[in-house]
Amino acid sequence: MRATVGDHLVQHGRVVGQHDKESEIVEVLGPEGTPPYRVRFGDGHEALMSPGPDCQVRRKEMGEPFDR
């Protein structure tokens, strides 16, 4: 998985009824765009994430503007 600042990280719900979580990548901490990533969620909180197989990177040119 590779990402750049401004891309969105989508974590898909793992059980029925659980919604996807979307965040904006604000810092790439791994070499050459690899995890871990510092992300910011729509409510403003930030987290450090090393995404698993249930995550997908949505490139900034492909996605819609991120709600804050």
Residue 2 in any domain: the answer is no
Query: For residue 63, is it within any domain?
Result: no
Per-residue confidence (pLDDT) for residue 62, from 0 to 100: 61
Distance of CA 15 to the CA centre of its chain: 19
Asked, for residue 52, whether it belongs to a domain, the answer is: yes
**What pLDDT was estimated at residue 13?**
82
Whether 7 contacts 57, CB under 8 Å: yes
Give the per-residue pLDDT at 40.
97
On whether residue 15 sits in a domain, the answer given is yes
Q: How many CB atoms lie within 10 A of CB 15?
A: 5
Beta bridge partners of 33: none
Residue 65 lies in a domain: no
68 is a domain residue: no
- Domain that residue 24 falls in: 8-58
Rounded-to-integer distance, Cα 5 and Cα 18, Å: 27
pLDDT for 15: 83
Q: Tens digit of pLDDT per residue, the chain (68 long)? A: 899 999 999 998 888 888 889 999 999 999 999 999 999 999 999 999 999 898 999 998 765 544 44
Do the domain assignments include residue 45?
yes
Q: How many domains does the chain have?
A: 1
